[in-house]
Amino acid sequence: MEARLPAVHRLLAHPRLQTAREKLGPESLRQLVREVLQDLRRQGRRHASLEDVLYSVEARVAELARPSYPAVINATGVLIHTNLGRAPLLPQQVSGYVALEFSLAEGCRGERLAPVREKLCRYFGCEDALVVTNNAAALLLLLAARARGRQVLVSRGELIEIGGSFRLPEIMAEAGVELVEVGCTNRTHLADYRRALSPQTAAILQVHRSNFALTGFVATPTPQELASLARETGVSFWVDQGSGCHLDLTRFGLAKEATVQELLTAGAEVVLFSGDKLLAGPQAGILVGKRQTLEPLRQHPLRRAVRPDKGVLVGLAATLDAYLAGQPERVPLYQLLAEPLVRLRQRALRLRRTLQAAGIPAQVVPCHAVLGGGTTPGEVLPSYALALPDDPARSRALRQGEPPVIGRQERGQLLLDLRAVFPEQDKLLAAAVVRAFR
């Protein structure tokens, strides 16, 4: 008798699929079985044993059972890694109900943003603050509420693209704002801004270059100069800081740049930035500055479309509490930045001993990590890594292990950079490497 593809009902009734049926539900399992059979037909298979088909179904069930967004060990050496969710989050998780828009004192409706606004104002020393879903939304809202139908001046050296989808000129067009390019790519002078001002000008916008650096024959007016030009001519001065910084990064060996607080002191009406880049918290767009500038944003219809979720607000409040307490190292990213180089070396040596005892030829090498996320381009953080033979099959096994470990290829080796690995993950990392290389 000619063997054919097993019938759907026979597969579904098979005891081996009992647990899968309970986990997925009968309808999803039926669909999945049909898909497996369809794939076989598409491959031109006319017959397959019941065993073979069951095996394929089970493999697909296992794939579906994997967590959708698994926690990973970041051994890439990129601290703010966009593909790995930017900043590592505090363990705070929201579950159940929270008093999100409810005043416990009055027993009536409260204001969703009030608690984080108060913390932001205290930390940044400003009158007002607003939180939206991300920095791109913050800029869109600011432009739409304050400059629609008018002009905004931006230096040609600051017309940035971020991550392929945030392009400053396109955001401005989307907000209904006319972009007026000022100066040259490498040099923009105060006089260029002055010449470009017109009765249609709403604001001067300074944009953090974020993911690239201009060096050589370059010039940009200071924020103080731009603020006083704006004041003198009656236009606004805003700074899109994106990544930037809020505390002095020189103590971690990174270059000095203006902080949000310094930009506000310099006279910026509003500074906007990313919650997950600059603050190392959850994804959010934050605007801090003058009440008069921010109030119209609160009334704007777009605002509802970019309202942050409760989980974000809870995480943001916890992050701000650490900064307000003067303890940035309570925030996971700063914990990673603050880890002394000698400690990284000790940890690497200890891991090497464990791995070599398991017969894995691991070496300890000094290397360079980066802050990442389009911040501090060209700057590096000293670090140590375990160097392993670069073998695509084993790298894949590491990535697909539990927990997944993501390293980086460099100089023909697989480096597991410890700068973004938390010390308490070392044991898990060693065990994952042993499993993948055995």
Ligand X SMILES: *Cc1c(COP(=O)(O)O)cnc(C)c1O
Least Å from the CB of residue 419 to ligand X: 21
Phi-psi region of 244 (alpha: psi -120 to 50; beta: other; left: phi over 0): left
- Which of residues 167 and 310 has its CB atom nearest to ligand X in the complex? 167
Contact 316, 275 (CB under 8 A): yes
- Which of residues 132 and 227 has its CB atom nearest to ligand X in the complex? 132
Least Å from the CB of residue 171 to ligand X: 8
Closest CA to 289 of 233, 334, 247, 227: 227
Amino acid code (one letter) for 383: S
The number of C-alpha atoms within 13 Å of 46 and in the hemisphere containing its C-beta is: 2
- Taking the C-alpha atoms of residue 395 and residue 408, their distance in angstroms, rounded to an integer, is 9
Enumerate binding residues for ligand X (CB under 6 A): 134-136, 162, 166, 207-208, 210, 240, 242-243, 274, 277, 285, 374
The number of C-alpha atoms within 13 Å of 81 and in the hemisphere containing its C-beta is: 18
Least Å from the CB of residue 103 to ligand X: 30
Least Å from the CB of residue 119 to ligand X: 19
Chain position whose Cβ is nearest to ligand X: 242
Q: Is the dihedral of CA 310, 314, 315, 316 positive or negative?
A: positive
- Which of residues 272 and 414 has its CB atom nearest to ligand X in the complex? 272
Residue written as token pair 């597969």: 11
Structure tokens at 381: 């953080």
Structure tokens at 355: 């791995």
Least Å from the CB of residue 134 to ligand X: 3
- Which of residues 55 and 166 has its CB atom nearest to ligand X in the complex? 166
CA distances from 347 to 60, 111, 137 (A): 38, 47, 41
- Taking the C-alpha atoms of residue 80 and residue 242, their distance in angstroms, rounded to an integer, is 13
- Taking the C-alpha atoms of residue 255 and residue 79, their distance in angstroms, rounded to an integer, is 16
Least Å from the CB of residue 39 to ligand X: 38
Least Å from the CB of residue 152 to ligand X: 14
Least Å from the CB of residue 211 to ligand X: 7
Q: Residue 2 gets which letter from DSSP?
A: -
Structure tokens at 412: 């023909």
Least Å from the CB of residue 287 to ligand X: 12
- Which of residues 379 and 426 has its CB atom nearest to ligand X in the complex? 379
Closest CA to 288 of 249, 324, 246, 257: 246
Least Å from the CB of residue 111 to ligand X: 23
Residue written as token pair 């003067």: 326
Structure tokens at 375: 């911040």
Contacts of 427 (CB under 8 A, 6+ apart): none
- Which of residues 158 and 339 has its CB atom nearest to ligand X in the complex? 158
- Which of residues 142 and 360 has its CB atom nearest to ligand X in the complex? 142
Q: Residue 288 gets which letter from DSSP?
A: E
Q: Alpha-carbon dihedral of residues 126, 188, 255, 216, nearest 10 degrees?
A: 180
